């Protein structure tokens, strides 16, 4: 009986820690194809990762839909955005100006090839490649 109670308490403690702990990897939506044209707006701000693991631009708390071929790499405490040539382009915490434009919620799944996670809110920024 004591052993079962101990396991129950230990499991409960682990669950609580997992809920409170920030995600170890970001949610990283990438466009499924190279566009034939680019949106021409600019969005300045700081690249942040919120408590749910969403990479956003701090201005307007905007979720980034990264260009085709982009990925991320975690090095220690840093989360780097890797461009389509395999080079480090920017890291979480950097101030950036990101080219692209806002798109409506209902267009996002078509651009990234899957539905957004439940509860994922916009606004959404269709990003151009980083210079």
How confident is the model over 43-59, as pLDDT tens digits?
999 999 999 999 999 98
- Integer Cα distance of 55 and 64 in angstroms: 6
Query: What is the pLDDT, as a whole number, of residue 18?
Result: 32
Residues whose CB is less than 8 angstroms from the CB of residue 28 and which lie 6 or more positions away in sequence, other chains included: 55, 66, 71, 72
How confident is the model over 2-59, as pLDDT tens digits?
444 333 333 333 333 333 444 668 999 999 999 999 999 999 999 999 999 999 999 8
Contact 28, 120 (CB under 8 A): no
Judged on CB neighbours under 10 Å (0-12, 13-18, 19+), 77 is exposed
> To the nearest 5 percent, what fractions of the chain are helix, strand and coil?
25, 35, 40
Break the chain into its structural domains and give their ranges: 25-127
- This prediction has a pTM of 0.81
- Integer Cα distance of 130 and 42 in angstroms: 11
- The tokens 């004591």 sit on which residue? 2
């Amino acid at each position: 009986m004591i052993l079962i109670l101990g396991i129950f308490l230990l499991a409960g403690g682990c669950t609580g820690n997992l809920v409170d702990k920030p995600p170890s990897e970001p949610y990283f939506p990438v466009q499924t194809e190279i566009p034939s044209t680019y949106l021409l707006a600019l969005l300045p701000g700081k690249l942040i990762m919120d408590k749910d693991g969403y990479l956003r631009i701090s201005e307007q708390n905007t979720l980034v839909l990264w260009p085709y071929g982009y990925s991320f790499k975690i090095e220690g405490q840093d989360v780097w955005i890797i461009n389509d040539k395999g080079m480090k382009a920017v890291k979480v915490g950097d101030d950036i100006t990101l080219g692209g434009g806002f798109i409506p919620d209902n267009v996002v799944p078509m651009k990234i090839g899957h539905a957004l996670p439940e509860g994922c809110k916009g606004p959404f920024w269709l990003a151009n490649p980083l210079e």
